[in-house]
Amino acid sequence: MGMALQLTVLAVLNHWTGGHYLLATLAALELTLLHNFVWHLHYTWPDRKESSPLMTRFARFQLSNGIVSLIGNLCLLRILVGGTRLPIILSDAIAILICSLANFGLGHAWAFAAGHA
């Protein structure tokens, strides 16, 4: 669901920003990060709700998944769109798939870690 949200928002924002795909990517990523945090909180790791305060988990999620997503997506899009001229949505789908493995691992091991106080 997060991937579909990010790709849809990116397509709309890229159109609205006149093709400034890196700026559109930043906004689409943050909206997707917020969505993914809520999703993970309620569906991926609901058994870890009491592992640490909500704002601590949110900060860890933004620091881990946010940094991986921002650096990964922006660098990969710059290469794929700017360098190889792949379409932006295909390029972002590739970036999302690559970054998602690292993001899931960071979410599991740090942002929503069981017993992490």
Give residue 110's pLDDT. 87
Nearest to 26 by CA among 81, 64, 77: 77
Q: What percent of the chain has pLDDT above 90?
A: 73
CA distance 117 to 106: 16
CA distance 117 to 36: 21
pLDDT in tens, 29-46: 999 999 999 999 999 988
Domain boundaries, the chain: 2-111
